[in-house]
Structure 1
Amino acid sequence: MALVYFYEKPGCLNNTRQKQLLVGAGHLIIVHDLLSEPWRNDVARLRSFFHNRPVAEWFNPSAPRIKQGLVNPQMMSESQAIAAMIDDPILIRRPLIESDGIRWAGFDVEQVDAWIGLSSGVAGRDLETCTRDRRQAGEHL
């Protein structure tokens, strides 16, 4: 069992499914509202969730401003990305997860399973892409 700090967008169906997987695997979850977290006061902590991943992978591809073409993560520096996320936290890839001093952005099932463990039968599941986006793409849920 791990103690997991889970930063979510309240009401997000994928975040709900992700939390259910974590709880089902026996983990204790402390949930935080990603959108109301005072990131401006702790920029270094926000940055630490992204490690050395490319800046574009720091972003929630389903964020309205990205889908509308108003924000282009491919063209941003690290400092521009963090500033944009502080101004509009919906841009942050979610969830942000912290356990045992390790921080990560997003919910790649295989990566989370290798890190803290999940219940069997979850391999290959896409728990990051917004369900509305998958429906629009023609995927049946």
Structure 2
Amino acid sequence: MQTLVFFEKPGCISNAKQKKLLSAAGIPFTTENILEYAWDPLSLAPFFSGTPVVEWINPNAPAVKDGEIDPTQVTEHEALAMMVNSPILIRRPLIQVGNLKWAGFDLPYIAEILGVSGDYASTQGIESCSHPQKGECD
């Protein structure tokens, strides 16, 4: 079985829950700190292929919450530049399995790709921030 790469924000409660689900499903993974990874537009863009730009940006990032950035008004080029310069803006987690890359946690999809059997339908919705008002999900 391939090893999944899980790009997380250390200390994120939702990312911790997601990693527990991966472990419980027997899915091997490694973690990368999304905030410290050496991103550039070419390495980041494939995670968002085929999705609207508004879904690329972390809605809980301080600049979004404070109204400094309106994700509905950002071009692909602008979004990539902003996320490279300020990785807190990157929607997480980012997931990589071999050459496949995407943003967001979808355990049924992950299990399907890796050939892991089980009923993971109850894990839907685990992607959202657990404490958006406390500032823990920036």
Q: In the alignment, is residue 88 of structure 1 matched against residue 86 of structure 2? A: yes
Q: In the alignment, is residue 71 of structure 1 matched against residue 53 of structure 2? A: no
Q: Describe the shift of the 1:89–1:101 C-alpha distance in structure 2 as closer, same or farther (beyond 3 A).
A: same
Are 1:35 and 1:89, in contact at CA under 8 Å, matched by a contact in 2? yes
Give the aligned partner of residue 53 of structure 1.
Answer: 51
Give the aligned partner of residue 128 of structure 2.
Answer: 129
Give the aligned partner of residue 22 of structure 2.
Answer: 22
Moved over 4 A (4+): none
Instruction: Give unpaired runs (5+ residues) of structure 1.
Output: 136-141
1:124 CA drift (Å): 5.2
Question: SS at the partner of 2:48?
Answer: coil
Quote the Cα distance in structure 2 between the aligned partners of 1:80 and 1:68.
18
Give the aligned partner of residue 103 of structure 2.
Answer: 105
Let me know the Cα RMSD of the aligned residues. Answer: 2.0
Q: Percent identity over the alignment?
A: 38
Give the aligned partner of residue 4 of structure 2.
Answer: 4
1:134 CA drift (Å): 7.9
Give a deviation string over 1:3-39, Cα, whole Å, max 9, x none.
Answer: 1011100000111111111111111111100000111
Compute the TM-score of the two structures, normalised by the length of structure 2: 0.86
Quote the Cα distance in structure 2 between the aligned partners of 1:2 and 1:119.
17
Are 1:109 and 1:123, in contact at CA under 8 Å, matched by a contact in 2? no
Are 1:22 and 1:118, in contact at CA under 8 Å, matched by a contact in 2? no
Compute the TM-score of the two structures, normalised by the length of structure 1: 0.84
Count residues with an aligned counterpart: 133
